[in-house]
Amino acid sequence: MTDTERLKKAVGALCNWYRAGHRDLPWRRTPTPYHVWVSEIMLQQTRVQAVLPYYERFMRALPTVQALAEAPEEQLMKLWEGLGYYSRARNLQKAARVVCEQYGGEMPCTREELLALPGIGPYTAGAVASIAGGQACPAVDGNVLRVLSRLFAREWDIRTQAVKRQAECELSAVIPADCPGDCNQALMELGAMVCLPNGAPLCDSCPVSGLCLAHEAGSEQRFPVRAPKKQRPVENRVVFLLWKDGRLALRKRPNSGLLAGLWEFPNFFEGEDPEKQLGVQLTDIRPLKRAKHVFTHLEWHMAGFSAQTEDGGLFTWVTPAQLERDIALPSAFRVYRTIALEQRKQ
């Protein structure tokens, strides 16, 4: 059996398996281009269960492309608070504004048009075009690459663009024209629910185990092959919950770089003088718990402190109620946000 024949048989079996029963997800109930697009952007680097409440809240607040295009930045950031990778939200809005300007507020449905929008890459374009537009094009993400690696028992590095392009090319040759969305979602569903990334895959539940060369050899967990990750650098930082007359100090980060343009609690490198870094005199300094946050290419190890001041400094001062209701803080500060909201009751 050739690879193409194997893949074609697998795709047919997977489509039947998917149609027989799959997860009931809100964007699958109403697979409009807008719904599929927002869900796919949210699902990047984020688990389905974590995304569900965000998606529902986002759609209640911004039910159309035009609503997204016109949303104030603070509202958009608050809706995204905790999901991380905030550039995703900003690109969503940039793309929504392009759609309103160039397409009259109607999301385009072809892969080529979607690829021209900010923040949309080959995977998202393929997902929206196939699921919402019925275009026979692949949507290749990590789940799909893992499935194909095991199906063919291929020792390819799935993090490389060359492997992604090869997978897209092979799938393009077999994706069914009458149900491309089902095909792509079936591959994603299999990778998420059966052909698992960590631990043993659930081969007894797999509709294509009889075609899988890795399963035949009993070597499912050897695949996919990955190049070893580089160790992330660590920054040791100090975070201050700085209080003045019942209000908390916040500041905005620079408009470029890590967490660009987002609100933050005052923080600086460990070992630096707090009053010099904050530009105010401090009283009643108290240590808080330590916290850690892992970014894609960096780790913050944080020591927290609470303090009082009578100086205004160069900060924006907000009440705890404003912090909870209106201000979007990156998840890096989640621990200290929780402590701040607890301190208001003391």
Domains and CATH numbers, the chain: 3-222 (1.10.340.30), 234-343 (3.90.79.10)
Residue with tokens 């997978």: 167
Q: What's at 263, amino acid-wise?
A: W
User: pLDDT value at position 136?
Assistant: 97
Give 44's Cβ-side CA count (13 Å radius).
21
Band (104; pLDDT cuts 50, 70, 90): very high
Average pLDDT over residues 87-112: 96
Is the pLDDT at 198 greater than 90? The verdict is no
Rounded to whole angstroms, the Cα distance separating 5 from 298 reads 43
What is the predicted pLDDT for the residue at 299?
97
Listed residue (130, 168, 112, 126) closest to 18, CA to CA: 130
Query: How far apart are the C-alpha atoms of 41 and 33, rounded to whole Å?
Result: 12
Predicted pLDDT of residue 230:
84
- pLDDT tens across 321-340, in order? 999 999 999 999 999 999 99
Annotation says 70 is catalytic: no
Confirm whether pTM is higher than 0.85.
yes
Q: Which helix (H) or strand (E) holds 115?
A: helix 111-115
What token pair was written down for 250? 């916040």
| pLDDT at residue 345 in the model | 60
Options 40, 113, 168, 189, the catalytic residue: 40
User: Regarding beta strands 316-318 and 247-252, do their DSSP bridges make them parallel or antiparallel, or are they unpaired?
Assistant: antiparallel
Residue 279 binned pLDDT confidence (cut-offs 50, 70, 90): very high
Mean pLDDT, rounded, of the chain: 95
Instruction: Report angle CA 34, 94, 102 to the nearest 5 degrees.
Output: 70
Which residue has tokens 């895959």?
Answer: 201
Q: Which two tokens stand for residue 16?
A: 């039947």
pLDDT for residue 346: 57
